Amino acid sequence: MPQLTVSDSSRAGSLQEVAADVLILPLLRGADDSPATVSGMPSVTEAIAAMDLSADRGEIHRLPSAVSAPDAVQAGSLLLVGVGAESLDEVEAEDLRLAFGAATRSLTGVATAAVALPGGAPEQLTAAIEGAALGAYAFIAHKSEAGSPKAALAEITVVAEDPAAAQSAIDRAAVLADVVGLTRDLVNTPPNLLYPAEMARRAQEAVASLPIEVTVLDEAQLAEGGYGGIAGVGQGSTRPPRLVRLEYAPASAKSSVSLVGKGITFDTGGISLKPAAGMDDMTSDMTGAATVLGAIVGAARLELPVKVVTYLALAENMPGGNAQRPGDVVTMRNGTTVEVLNTDAEGRMVMADALVDAAADEPDLLMDVATLTGAAMVALGKRTAAVMGTEEARDEVLAAADASGEPFWPLPFPAELRKELTGRVADLRNIAASRWGGALSAGIFLSEFVGDVSWAHIDIAGPSFSDAPLGYMGKGATGMSVRTVLEVLEARAR
């Protein structure tokens, strides 16, 4: 993650004196089709007037400072990034995150950059800082020297009129960038290198310096403890399942939140084998577990007065000789029996077991995060997450999503879908009797395992992994929803 520092811009000429490889500035649309402008820097606006630069959000123009900055800017070059408006007053926080994230994402291989938002409000500068920090990410762990890897931007200086206020924003942005980066790193790690036991080890490593207690159940303990969902999904792999429990319990805790994350480290579909095309993306089927791991790390680093208990339900879904068969019946952690009619509906099986334990903790709020259903993508596309559950919990997540700038949309639990999950020879079936409302029936299945707890189910199947970059999110793992889950915890702390 980039090193973030602050520089005072309250005196004249301070922007010109910033010694960075690149100075990043917002580019505004000109009024009535006039040339684009740079807020607070009339000399730059004048110099670029004839260049016909687009100020659409995320449009990037990198120019030599000698050409675009007649006032002798010390930075090696200027990077002007469009924010899609004629005035900063019209620009939303998320637009600034996306714009400045696109700017820093374009600077792989560059050592230092400075970020400035002349004329912007403090909360707008905060958003720009967050976007810049999140955009400075590159996953090159497996690139050889022959592959010419380019590291992400290493240092970002924030040029601010109020350095003390900016420092507070920088401190939080650094934590956000770190925990989102942790999530991205885990999701981007190839599945031959990240399997249940290894992910459990990495979780322990991630919290080693924090006041977080870790418990790991192996395959024998899962079988003995009645975790039929997790054990059943994992039995087809030579790399057995794990359940990881992490607890952050500060003495000052005002509230308690339990988190559950789906951690299928690779999903072939099992005996109900997926098509080959696109199966490589199933390296991302553990994003829910990576997300809630990032959230508890963030809570501990921010020293939030909230108790957080996190469960990572980890398994590899493979079609080995010992794999589950369609038609098998398993007994879940709470004694419910389930007919496994499709082994590719495995996420809800591992989640259900972990939800039983999480609900038994009697938290004030229970949230689960999962790349659960393709049906959620059919409903909402690849950029928007679905949220379901009890009304109060669902609304709490939506408020946090709005504050963090991440797109979420509420989905219902129609009562008539419940009967579609009644089993023929067991209590439940793991897929509904019809294909309609697949994201909803999956959520209704999970609701059978949470009891009376206030609960929100987040389906990130679409936005968790991307084949096209957008703003601070590049190709591959996006880290989408980490900030929303952490914002729920921060809001409860406030």
Q: Which residue numbers are catalytic?
A: 274, 348
Helix axes 196-206, 163-188, angle to 10 degrees: 160
> What backbone torsions phi and psi does residue 273 show, to the nearest 5 degrees?
-60, 135
- Per the CB < 8 A criterion, the answer to whether 263 and 282 are in contact is no
On the CB side of 449, CA atoms within 13 Å amount to 32
Neighbours of 225 (CB within 10 A): 15
Token pair of 340, please? 């496994």
DSSP state of 193: T
For residue 220, how far is the Cα from the chain centroid? 32
DSSP state of 151: P
Side chain identity, residue 126: T
Q: Give the 3-state secondary structure of residue 299.
A: helix
Cα–Cα distance measured from residue 438 to residue 441, given in angstroms and rounded to the nearest whole number: 5
DSSP string for residues in 19-60: --SEEEEEEBPPGGGPPPB-TT-HHHHHHHGGG----STT-E
- Per the CB < 8 A criterion, the answer to whether 345 and 409 are in contact is no
Cα–Cα distance measured from residue 101 to residue 76, given in angstroms and rounded to the nearest whole number: 20
Closest CA to 228 of 318, 350, 312, 317: 350
Cα–Cα distance measured from residue 363 to residue 22, given in angstroms and rounded to the nearest whole number: 47
Cα–Cα distance measured from residue 15 to residue 41, given in angstroms and rounded to the nearest whole number: 9
DSSP string for residues in 369-437: EE---HHHHHHH-SS-EEEEESHHHHHHHHHHHHHHT--EEE----GGGGGGGB-SSSSEESS-SSSTT
Q: What is each CA distance from 419 to 293, 327, 399, in whole angstroms?
A: 34, 19, 31
Burial 91-117, CB ≥16 within 10 A → b, else e: bebbbbbbbbbbbbbbbbebebbbbbb
